[in-house]
Structure formats: C-alpha cells, structure tokens
Structure 1
Amino acid sequence: MSLQKTVTLSFFALLICLHVNAQSLFIGQDEDAIYHYFHIEKNDDCLTYRNFPQPVGLTQYIDIFKLEGLKKPVDNGAGSNCVKNILDDNCLKRYNKNIPFNMAIGVWMNNELEIQNLVNGLYDAKINELADFLKTYPNVKFYLRIGYEFDGQWNKAYEDRRRYIVAFQRIHDILRVNYEKTKTNRNWLSVWQACTSPIDDIMENKIENIGDWYPGDKYVDFCGLSWFLAGTKTAPKYANSTNVVYKRSQRSLANEMIYFANYKSKPVMICEATPQGYNLSGLYRKNIGPYWDGIAGENIVKLTPLQIWNEWYKPFFEFIEKNKQTIKIVAYINQNWDEQTKWTLTKSGTYWGDSRIQTNDKVSQWWSEMITNTWEK
C-alpha cells in the first residue's frame, strides 16, 4: 500500500471514529466572513449557495459603551460588524428556510476608564437598550460573551479581577431585571470566555488561575475558550527551555477550562477557533510571532492540504470528540485575516493568515465530511 493511501485511510479512519453528539456550529466573525461562507457569488440574488455544513449560529461583536456594531455597521479594521444586518439579511433567512440563526455576540468592554464607569452605573441605560434590542428577536438565542478573553494580556481593563467580575455581574443583572419587569421569556445566555492561550502565559511569564475572574455560578451559563494554535504544539522557540510556562500547549490550556466547566457543571462554547499562522489559500504557514516561534511573518513553510489538516484541524476535532459531553457549541472564524488592517504585521505584531474554508477544495471536502457526517444539530 502506498504512503498516500495509508495517510488517506488514516484520515477517514479518524472521520469514522468521531461521533460528535449535539455540537452546534457557529460561523463568524465579520459580515463578509459570514456571507462568503454561504455564497459563491455575493450579488446574485441569493441563488448560489455553497454546499457547506449549515451552521445554527453566527458571530458578531459590539461595544457595550456605545453599542457600536449592534444596530449599525462598524469597522475598526477587523471587518464590518452589525448584529441587526446579519439577523435581517434576506439571503441568510432564505438559506435557513426562515428559521432564525442564533447569535454569539462578543461584548467588548476593554477600556479601563469606561469599565469603571460601567461598574458605577453610568452605562445602565446602554445595557437596557441592549436588552430591548434582544427582545425584538424573540426566536433568536443570543450568547453574550461578556468581556471575552478576560485573562488575555492584551485586555488590560480586565487585570483588576474584582472590577471585571462586578462589571460582568452588573450587565447580567440589568439584563435579567429588564426581562423580568416586562415578563419577557429570556432568550439570552451569558458566556464567560478565557483566552486559553499559551502565548499569553509566555508574554506574562506566569500561569494564572482562571477562577480568579469567575463571576459566580448564577451569572455564568456557558464557559468559553479560544483555540488558535495547533493542538499539542508547544512554543518551538523555547523547545529547550526548562520553564514550565513554555511547555503549555493549546490543548493543555483548553483542558483547564474543560476541567473548570465540569467542576461547575457548565457546558462549554469554543467561542473563537481559527488556524493561526496558516494560509489556506496559499497553502503555507509562517511564524506567528516572537513570543512563540520567531519574527512574525517569516519562515514560510509550504504545506499540502493534508499537512494543514493534520497539523491543526485533526487535533481540534479530536479535542471536541474527547470532550463531546461538555462542548456544545463550536464557533469557527472563517476569514482572511491578512486583508484586515487590524491584523496586519505592522498593526498587530503577529501573523494570522487566511482561515477561509472555501479557498481550498480538499480542506472544504474534509470540513464538510467531518461536520456533516459526525455532528448533530
């Protein structure tokens, strides 16, 4: 038997053995990323849809202080976001046979001055406005990722753990009371999301206890995590280090959230998942950045579709399968990071890549087979 046949059979053996139960697929995270996942052509009167696994939910982002991205489009260099546009889009409605998509909303509050103002009550009106908006879509289930990636070094406003907790609780309480006063059935769930990033630990040179940010059982409906790096890989730049901080992988940090969620009897949402450093359209990977593997954007390594699949997608799906009783939602980021100004090397200092499934026929095929054959809505 040839090596190629052996590798191919190994892939399909993995496909057969995976029986992921009751996972829901979400797609994001800007308007174009969502639209291009569904459509072959953008301006064809909704006639040509890709034959991809149908998600049950979509991902967008808002600013809690101004509610930017909620009712009107906003683009801060990472693509246009508008929750209302997505929920009202006629093509998406037609695609889903008029069954509303659920919506995961990243609720941004990473501003040290304004988060303190929120804690002090200055943004109660905005939180109530958010509640009133959510109530206008009673058949949509909203997953509110309040202060997402709370433990990330890049989210300075959340370093004050007590302030973060109070802000989370205040948003939750005002939303709850708003619904109770109007006797409205609650159609939103709170998501408490860690960054679960080994790069974060390396940047800070310490291992944090995510429980220090926990708002409490009655405030958290879902625990959440991010998955950007290749599953079991540790920082190649520090391969010979004896520092335990450098020995942590994407999977080991994700496991910490799984253990925490199981202890708290909470379901888990993989809120952000993308193969960082990989370019699916160009079939290569590059260095992500100096805290991980070297100078960002250097060291181009050409790869086959199967190599990309085995390096990133295979351990990702295996992790989901292993934790299928806990992980209930998986949100994939399907976008060309390289084209967005916020994620360029000069702006972000790291290399992101191109994670669009539709840009490679083989990855598209395996993605579709994996989800269609093994996931249930």
Structure 2
Amino acid sequence: MPNEVTLKVKAKAVKPLKAGYPLLNKEQFEQLNDLKEEGSIIRLVDERHQFIAKAYYGKQNKGYGWVLSDKENEQINTDFFQRKLKAAIEARASLFQSEVTNAFRVFNAEGDGIGGVTIDYFDGYYLLNWYSKGIYQFKDAIIEALESVSDYKGIYEKKRFEHGGKYVEDDDFVKGEKANFPLLIKENGVQFAVYLNEGAMVGIFLDQREVRQKIREHYSKDKNVLNTFSYTGAFSVYAALGGASKTTSVDLANRSYAKTIEQFSLNEIDYESQDIIVEDVFKYFKYARKKGKTFDLVILDPPSFARSKKMTFSASKDYKNLLKEAIEITENQGVIVASTNSASFNMKVFKGYIDSAFKEMNGQYKIEEEYTLPSDFKTTRSFKEGNYLKVVFIRKL
C-alpha cells in the first residue's frame, strides 16, 4: 500500500474541493513539505481537521495530484480501480458494440474519476497513458483491475511524464499478444493505420471523431479543401471520402508525408490526385496568397504550443493571427473549421478570437455549428478545464 499523509487545506480551497473540484495545486495548501513520495495517498482535511477527501500525490503540468474519493474509509486498491473501470466500460457499451467504429476512449482521467491516466481502445488493444510518476505507482493495480472487467488482445502504455529531465521511453508493450503494426482500425467506417509502439502520438486523435464525420457528410462535396497542421491526414481522408474535388494537406513534420499517403491508400483514395506538402503552415499561407490560391474549406487544428526553427506558436497568443491568415485564402461563403485543444481558455474566449480576427480583416461571418469533446471523452462539471476541445465551423460571408 502507498504511504498516507494528512494535509491541511486552506479555508478558501475547502468549498471547491467539497464540490468536486478534482485537481490539487500548491495554492490550496499552506505548505507541501510532507509530500515527498509520488503515489502517496493524501488525506485532505480542513483547518479543524475535518475530513474532505482522499487524493494522491503526482506532479504533472496541471498540478500536484488528483482527488480520488470523498469517502474517508475508502481504500485505494485494486477493488477501487475495478469499480471505476467497470463503470467506464459499461458507459461505452454502444461503442464496444459498434460495427463501424472500433477505436475510442475507454477511460478519460478525472472525467471517469481518476485524474492522470487515460485508456484508449484500438480494436482489442488497450493503450494506457500515464501523466505522472504518482499515478504510475498504481500501474499494477490498475492493469489487474482492467483485466478483471474486460477482455483484450494486448495492452500498451505511454509514460507521459519526465524522469531525470527527460521523458521515459521504454518498450511500450505491457502484456497480452503484441500487435502487428500498422494496426488497422475503423472510425465511422473509415480505416486508419495506428502505431502503438512509435512514441506519444499513435496516428490519429480520437477526440475529433464527430468533427471528421460532420466534415465528410456536410462540408466536403465538390469542395477544394485545405487541411493545415494535418499530421497523418485524417481530416483530408474524410473530406476526400465526402466527395471533395481536391484536398491539400500541410504539415511541417517530415513523417506526415508517408503517413498521409498510407491513410489515403488504406481507404482506396488516389493520393497522387491530392496535394501533400511538408512545410511550415504560415509559410504555406504566404505561398497561397502569392499564387492566388483559395479554398472552399480550411481546417485549422494546430497544437496548443509548437516551435519551429523560425517561430513559436501558442494557441492563446497566436490563434487570432492564424485565423486572419486563413480568412485571406478562404472563398466567400467558404467555411473555416477552427479547432483548438488548448485548456488555457474557454469557448467564449475562443469565439472572441474569431470575432476579433474577422473584424480586423473587415470581414463578416456566421457560426454554423460548434463541437466539444465526444461522449467517450467524459468530463465533469466541477472541472471545466477538462473539456478542452473547442471546434467552431465558421462561414465566411
């Protein structure tokens, strides 16, 4: 069993924690000197030493750990994790039974009651993402719990925390049978190749499933589509299958070229009839303006933060300028799909960026629709930051 320590919470932090706020941060405490071993169970008490909740200590970029239970006598053991995982799997029953989708999120960290760990499902294979050394101390209990509530072919993991100043990079395979890569999965009937053994990003971002489907069904027919920060081209594949006249995929990473060809080919799309460009997106915008290129549909899905040799992009600082670049090369009555996974601002602020961008370009627009995380990426009202995805379909008037 992990060590247990008792920590007194500042008076102003008691009410939010009692209301279900799950994240621990240093502002909640007078001192954190007793926190030495990541994975320790923390008994949170108020200034009168009245019990508030049980949490664990695990440092990650968001804070110092996560609340696990508001029950004083709850034991944080395999049975605890089993109950959480069973509830999560039952909540995704319709996805497990789907004939057209076999890749989705099974367990979404604090949304399902255990901050710091996510579990994704890829056609019989589970992928666990550990976000702190603290939650990783519970690895054996969590995997034992997962095995007890679900059948699987194999289990993989990603350690998304720093150790000794660098990210831990061990063999990603945990147990079961090893997959043959690429592992071919389905999403809304579309095929994708994923690699659970190639670093943090496996080939597709599962949280955009509904957005991709909407693009295919309602926004692609006979359209000239630009997909920026395209990664492995998933949006481009959906657009092509939706009847786009042409797609252009732009990403700075060299790997994007071969990966995008692979995804097109899996879906019997002639990749040679599409444009796949390895280049800085902002440089491509300049090229498109110079050549008079315009698009009917422009997809903007940048990382929250990225750095190239010549510039740094931060969604919170630079998204408005990115939108202005996109507006210039979008046809009148064309659509911009503006997306961000930055948790540092909410949808209201994001719409403010959109409004400012169009005003500064002397343009008019209409919001067609908006998306946040799909239901398998479960969130909790007490932690609004957890619902990080913001996608807005904007028609340029």
| TM-score normalised to structure 2 length | 0.25
Q: Tell me which of the two structures has the higher relative contact order, counting C-alpha pairs closer than 8 angstroms and 6 or more residues apart.
A: 1
Higher-strand-fraction structure? 2
